[in-house]
A and B are shown apart, each in its own frame.
Chain A
């Protein structure tokens, strides 16, 4: 649970991103608190990916004030990159490297020492119940393992924030739940989780949820409050009401 007085780890004020005449992000303003699980929902093409790229320092906003992990998005991008983790549905793991080689590669990029890497790998293999897979090629291990490993690698440098872009797409229902256990755990350890998903039951697990429609944030609150506000039984109903109203 996030304490109310927790500090803001992401602050976005009047974010605008234009591609030619198309406005992908239209004056977005929101804050994310430290340790919070923040659900970033929206229909396809609503502008989620554009915003995430900007928050990760991979794309420049047209205008607006943004800080991520206390760093300015215009002047301190490299510092932002050191303090965040990122994982998407399309794997960031190398198929033709082994499990350990992938861990060593990513941990090395983030500047972890050889001994640290060995130790963390050992703990990780134990935790993920993957000891026998340590020296197997990524391509040969089951999808569910890859997904969990990709998440663990994304937070191996203990970042302030981890961005998860549809992390559970296509996985079996058991793995999906185990994955959320890992998200809960990371959040308890103080890592802020910024997550997108099309599974509306997963929106219920977030501390707060924002729903984007046509480049704007149409709603932002706790799942409980959103359901009350929109007289909906589930987040799925909230989402349908918001996204459908604009489509039709």
Chain B
């Protein structure tokens, strides 16, 4: 039995298909990521899994329990951290935690082990009102509250959105420790670089899952040989590369451009010559490994 089983799930709002015939399963103890932009359908899916929204079609179960029929039981089994901060802003850190523990019929002491690593970081502020915490601390409190009843499945909707690079890194370290303690974790993120931290990922866009696999398998399916190209001026480099006849795709990746070609052979030499003629200096061209972001854009299959 899987921790989560979803088959042919659909949900429509007015004319928008938020979820369009989605199927997947998540194994026990797996760290599973939904990678996709805002509006891809991640939140709708999570709201169905957490029994807060009814699907139009299809089935979904958590720990073998049906999200429609057995919603009460499911709520005891899952911890949910919504994308929007949803704790009581006028209660203190401590009061929020106590409140959630009580609602689930437990105490802070009973499950303190599970949240200890996270909670100690906000403990110095335990008397502060939740509304007055910084973004990073809010996130840690929300995670503590989602864990306080010792759920077997943790569902996190964009926990790292709007969070700086350092706090993001620390958050993923926390998730890894939780996974090691046996909790199944389903997490949504718009940050493509976080995909590599998951056991398996689903790339999602416009209510459809484009692919599901391990991060390394997703990268292996990238269909082109990819080159990294640098010059002294990234803006004109991108423009000129897009004009290059043999080019299939050109995307900026920080200090370099990732380029793939329609036809492979000799393209590299021809490109060197072409960029030289266009007046670029310090041109460097070399093969590079595709990233999840390259794969995502290839799957979106939109032309420039």
Contact = CB atoms under 8 A, between A and B. Distances in A.
A236 B134 contact: no
Contacts of A239: 164-166
Contacts of B293: 173
Interface stretch (A26-34, A75-83, A107-115, A176-184): A176-184
B136 interface: yes
B267 interface: no
B170 to A, nearest CB: 9
Interface stretch (B68-76, B94-102, B211-219, B232-240): B232-240
B252 A45 contact: no
A42 B164 contact: yes
Interface in A186-213: 188, 198-201, 204-205
**Which of B163, B205, B254 lies at the interface centre, i.e. has the most chain A CB atoms within 10 A of its CB?**
B254
A1 B39 CA distance: 35
Interface stretch (B19-27, B50-58, B109-117, B295-303): B295-303
A45 B136 contact: yes
A123 interface: no
A170 B160 CA distance: 10
A175 to B, nearest CB: 7
B79 interface: no
B300 A172 contact: yes
B169 interface: yes
B192 interface: yes
Interface string B123-143: 000000000001110000000
Interface string B187-208: 0001110000000000001000
A166 B191 CA distance: 14
A42 B167 CA distance: 11
B36 interface: yes
A236 B169 CA distance: 11
Interface string A208-248: 00000000000000010000000000111001100110010
Instruction: Assign chain B's interface to a size class.
Output: 35 or more
Contacts of A240: 165-166, 169
Instruction: Assign chain A's interface to a size class.
Output: 35 or more
Contacts of B37: 143-144, 170-173, 175
A44 B163 CA distance: 7
B134 A172 contact: no
Contact of B39 (A142, A169, A243, A244): A142
**Which of B39, B191, B300 lies at the interface centre, i.e. has the most chain A CB atoms within 10 A of its CB?**
B39
B161 interface: yes
A43 B234 CA distance: 26
A181 B166 contact: no
B255 interface: yes
**Which of B169, B235, B297, B300 lies at the interface centre, i.e. has the most chain A CB atoms within 10 A of its CB?**
B235
A89 interface: yes
Nearest to A188: B235
Interface string A11-47: 0000000000000000000000000000000111100
Contacts of A243: 164-166
Contacts of B136: 43-45
B38 interface: yes
Nearest to A200: B165
Given A44-B163, A44-B167, A201 B254 contact: yes
Contacts of B255: 204, 223, 234
Given A44-B134, A45-B134, A173 B297 contact: yes
A24 to B, nearest CB: 12
Given A170-B161, A172-B36, A172-B37, A204 B254 contact: yes
Interface in A94-129: none
A199 B297 CA distance: 17
Contact of B252 (A43, A200, A205, A234): A205
A173 B192 contact: yes
B104 interface: no
A137 B296 CA distance: 29
A180 B162 CA distance: 18
Interface of B: 36-40, 134-136, 158, 161-169, 190-192, 205, 233-235, 238, 251-255, 293, 296-297, 300, 302
Given A43-B164, A44-B135, A198-B164, 5 more contacts: A173-B296, A174-B300, A200-B165, A205-B252, A240-B169
Interface of A: 1, 42-45, 89, 142-144, 166, 169-175, 177, 180-181, 184, 188, 198-201, 204-205, 223, 234-236, 239-240, 243-244, 247
The 8 closest A-B CB pairs, nearest first, are A172-B37, A170-B38, A201-B254, A204-B254, A45-B134, A44-B135, A43-B164, A243-B166
25 contacts: A44-B162, A44-B163, A44-B164, A144-B37, A169-B162, A170-B37, A172-B36, A172-B205, A172-B296, A173-B37, A173-B251, A174-B297, A174-B300, A174-B302, A175-B37, A177-B251, A181-B238, A198-B163, A198-B168, A200-B165, A201-B253, A239-B164, A239-B165, A240-B166, A247-B166
